[in-house]
Structure 1
Amino acid sequence: MGSSKPIFPELNPDDPEATEIESLCMNCHSNGVTRLLLTKIPFFMDVIVMSFSCEKCGYQNNELQSGAPVAEKGIRIYLEVESPKDLNRQVVKSDYTSIKIPKLQFETTSQSQKGEVTTVEGIIDRAILGLEQDQTVRRQTHSEDAAKIDDFIEKLKTLKNLKEPFSLILEDVSGNSFIENPYSPQKDKNCKREYFLRTKEQNHLVGVYAHDEVVDSAILKPIQEGEYPLENFEGEVLQFATNCPGCNAPCETNMKMTNIPHFKEVLIMATVCDVCGLRTNEVKSGGGIEPKGLHIEVTVNSKEDFSRDVLKSETCHLGIPELDLEVGPNALGGRFTTVEGLISAVKEQLSDPKHSHMFGDSIEKESKDKFQEFLKKFDEILDGKFKVTIVLDDPAGNSYIQSLSESDEPDEFLKITHYERSFEQNEELGLNDMKTENYQ
């Protein structure tokens, strides 16, 4: 079934598998060597590391490009920088990331810098380095402008002293940027993430086009009403080619439409990769977005509560207040399971080194021990020794937890609330007629 190895393997120092290409040196116009390495940034995404060197003039250049597919939505990340720990947070940003520091009215635009792995302090240092470039010449030719830039550079340097907290905003239309949570798996109180649907222009910027923009509509056969009735698909398993979300190797996904009693129709999608062995099960709502958001709380008191059916949609946030744990919609995706299965899935994803930010060679022993103690809490929950509340918050209203009452009304341990969505939630669901560039 194609390659026997992942397209983007884990980084192996003993077998880096770099590809060397003879290429033109842009400094002396002789031939140099570009080395390409396809690998993974642990816990984040696939990347292409490019390194150029020229033996004749000594010129070198390093660059990082995303090898991951463009995300379905753009991402906007707000970080309050208050301590040295915040300055040391790891940051991964793509070519399409704009950076803002509102306190200084500082902004770098999208595609003005190459993608890189850095830190918050590294972002400030790179901004300083960019401003200091050509200052020697500028002081002789435009002394007033040079003085203003020197003043601004000092303000940037002052940020690192942390005499006052400041905000850092990353906005990435490709959705492939990330700021580390040093408090993981607890909620990151200093960082907030928002997702937004791209405009048509932003889609074109990242190379995404609608079907009718790349295919001649004249050759498309219109679907006639009643030609493909819904009944024909119910009970049938459809299969289509795709790429593994783990290693990007070609594989196949099976899809089936089913009905959840007393709720609605859903699509169940299952992928099995023969290359890396990854197995995924994902559920997508077969209906549209509900008029109101949905907030569900269920108290897990007994084994009977563990058996409740749960549908967590791809837009649903999950929380366990007793553990101070919040999981965004992208972490677990959409899935149809039970309360026990949902808790087990959270534990499995947190403890898997491929997905957890708490594992790595540089992690402190104290932090690792604390994290292991945190994972033991999940065993206590599953053994019925630690009672918790499961909270599902779904702005799209497409999530569900089974009631144990005979009338299907919420029982005494199940609380369901409908609410009006906020402006930001509507934007995340693509319900606002607003362009990202006008966002303030």
Structure 2
Amino acid sequence: MSAIGALEPVRGAGAGGVFRPLSAEDDEQQPAERESLCMNCYRHGVTRLLLTRIPFFREVIVSSFACGSCAWANTEIQSAGRIQEQGVRYVLAVAARQDMNREVVKTDCATARIPELDFEIPAFSQKGALTTIEGIIDRAVAGLEQDQPVRRATDQEVANKIDEFIDKLKRLKEVDSSFTFILDDPSGNSFVENPHAPQKDEALVVTHYKRTPQQAAMLGLEADEPEEKPVDSVEDLRNEVLQFNTNCPECNAPANTNMKLVQIPHFKEVIIMATNCEVCGHRTNEVKSGGAIELEGTRITLHITDLSDMTRDLLKSETCSVEIPELEFELGMGALGGKFTTLEGLLKDIRDLVQKNPFTLGDSSAPSKVEKLQEFGRKLQQIMEGQMEAHFIMDDSAGNSYLQNVYAPEEDPELKVEHYKRTFEQNEELGLNDMKTEGYEAGQTADR
């Protein structure tokens, strides 16, 4: 699209606060208009740019081009925020017609696949878009049909095969039979809607993963790890607060991140990282496990019966999922990242995460969804105020999560900790199935 060149000078202004939250009540938020070249007829058209901030996706640039001469139009979305720490993969089992209406945010670097048709939309082959599952299929069909007249004139056999494949894509929209839609984004900035939020979507599987060196190179990131400052001993590391430069996740201004190794009583060592932005005042903290993956997974269940339970210290690792059965709520592993906080702090983060869902805000949101989220928020507030009993469950397949036992070292009657053997699928998510550790002492890897 011809407006891409016009985006660059605007993007640099992101740290200055020009990315405003998208709101129907904000009368001052108007798109900027620029004259730009139409790539269809090479005359002048108009590009409209809207710089906004969407929850979960940071800053984005929404652009729309229209040519008054040939009536050609195009729209796209570009991420103006930072690349996330992990990539994300969405696997959706499309089984009903309404699944085609699920909202999708697809960035430039995301790959979309439909395994049943052996069909793939490679990264950077389509511009980023805020669309639906049906919209992605329609864009793919339009791209295949574009060059069909030329193919029919040069190779009729190939053109006929492509026509047959286009028909298969169009029939997918009727959902006569179920199929799988996979969206894989190494930047972590794509999204597929869960229409059942805050409840778990049984048809949607969300997986966060560590990028490969090839994916990091594709995104323009450094493949090599930064050189670490040597320390004399582990004790020196415990007593030292390390600091490194980074960017603020909210306004993208330069900021400093502090990192410290901390010993949690009756548990293990963890690494706490905290960022404080002096420009916008944003603060964030993240926790990484300081030890290895445990031999067994851990399931922690707390029966919340009193307001004092809200003050319990809590460590949630990146591999931990959270469940509140009374609210029919489940938070998958990877969501909210690693956190060292209190039970009340984590419940507040869950409340903010659910209530700021971008697909349930604004005039276009369904009243039933808004009512469901409001009811969820009321019940969660009752739990936080000690007016409603509930069970809080943390399930960590890596065994690196923790919930404080206020009676330690005695047994806590309201706290239950279970250890279990991981399944093959859980080991696969943790990357353990293909890991070989035998035979290194002899200079070779032993066969399993």
TM-score calculated relative to the size of structure 1? 0.82
Aligned partner of 1:39 in structure 2 is: 52
**Equivalent of residue 103 in structure 1, options 82, 105, 116:** 116
Give the 3-state SS of the residue equivalent to 2:21 in structure 1: coil
Q: Distance in 1 between matches of 2:261 and 2:293?
A: 18
TM-score calculated relative to the size of structure 2? 0.81
1:358 and 2:360 aligned:
yes
The Cα of 1:404 is off from its aligned counterpart by: 4.1
1:157 and 2:157 aligned:
no
**Equivalent of residue 312 in structure 1, options 309, 316, 319:** 316
Aligned partner of 1:70 in structure 2 is: 83
Report how many residues are paired. 420
Give the 3-state SS of the residue equivalent to 1:188 in structure 2: coil
Q: Quick one: percent identity of the two aligned structures?
A: 51
Given residue 207 of structure 1, which amino acid in structure 2 is its aligned partner? Answer: G
Q: Quick one: structure 1 residues 82 and 137, their matched pair in 2 at CA, closer, same or farther if it must change by over 3 Å?
A: same
Aligned partner of 1:396 in structure 2 is: 398
The Cα of 1:116 is off from its aligned counterpart by: 1.3
Aligned partner of 1:88 in structure 2 is: 101
Q: How does 1:13-412 map to 2 (within 5 A)?
A: 14-16=28-30, 18=32, 37-50=50-63, 62-211=75-224, 227-234=231-238, 236-351=240-355, 353=356, 357-408=359-410, 411-412=412-413
Q: Distance in 1 between matches of 2:256 and 2:213?
A: 30
Q: Distance in 2 between matches of 1:376 and 1:16?
A: 34
Q: Distance in 2 between matches of 1:197 and 1:348?
A: 26
Q: Deviations over 1:4-37 (max 9, x none)?
A: 83364335663447485x8776567788887765
The Cα of 1:198 is off from its aligned counterpart by: 2.4
Q: Is the 8 A contact 2:14 2:252 kept in 1?
A: no
Q: Distance in 1 between matches of 2:383 and 2:229?
A: 51
Q: Distance in 1 between matches of 2:43 and 2:98?
A: 44
Q: Quick one: structure 1 residues 417 and 204, their matched pair in 2 at CA, closer, same or farther if it must change by over 3 Å?
A: same
Q: Distance in 1 between matches of 2:381 and 2:21?
A: 30
Q: Deviations over 1:260-295 (max 9, x none)?
A: 111122233333334444332333323233333222
The Cα of 1:399 is off from its aligned counterpart by: 0.6
Given residue 418 of structure 1, which amino acid in structure 2 is its aligned partner? Answer: H
Aligned partner of 2:20 in structure 1 is: 9
The Cα of 1:405 is off from its aligned counterpart by: 4.2
The Cα of 1:304 is off from its aligned counterpart by: 4.6
Given residue 396 of structure 1, which amino acid in structure 2 is its aligned partner? Answer: A
The Cα of 1:66 is off from its aligned counterpart by: 2.2
Q: Distance in 2 between matches of 1:370 and 1:364?
A: 10
Q: Distance in 1 between matches of 2:187 and 2:389?
A: 40
The Cα of 1:94 is off from its aligned counterpart by: 1.6
Q: Distance in 2 between matches of 1:196 and 1:268?
A: 20
Give the 3-state SS of the residue equivalent to 2:335 in structure 1: helix
Q: Distance in 2 between matches of 1:388 and 1:138?
A: 63
Q: Is the 8 A contact 2:314 2:404 kept in 1?
A: yes
The Cα of 1:58 is off from its aligned counterpart by: 7.4
Q: Is the 8 A contact 2:321 2:330 kept in 1?
A: yes
Q: Is the 8 A contact 1:7 1:248 kept in 2?
A: no
The Cα of 1:374 is off from its aligned counterpart by: 1.6
The Cα of 1:390 is off from its aligned counterpart by: 0.9
Q: Is the 8 A contact 2:58 2:250 kept in 1?
A: no
Decide which moves more: 186-195 or 233-242: 233-242
Q: Is the 8 A contact 1:319 1:390 kept in 2?
A: yes
Q: Deviations over 1:55-88 (max 9, x none)?
A: 8887665443322322222222111222333111
Q: Which runs of 5+ in 2 are unaligned?
A: 1-12, 436-448
Q: Quick one: structure 1 residues 87 and 61, their matched pair in 2 at CA, closer, same or farther if it must change by over 3 Å?
A: closer
RMSD: 3.3
The Cα of 1:373 is off from its aligned counterpart by: 1.4
Q: Is the 8 A contact 1:281 1:335 kept in 2?
A: yes
Q: Which runs of 5+ in 1 are unaligned?
A: 435-440
Q: Quick one: structure 1 residues 119 and 245, their matched pair in 2 at CA, closer, same or farther if it must change by over 3 Å?
A: same
Q: Is the 8 A contact 2:15 2:251 kept in 1?
A: no
Give the 3-state SS of the residue equivalent to 1:372 in structure 2: helix
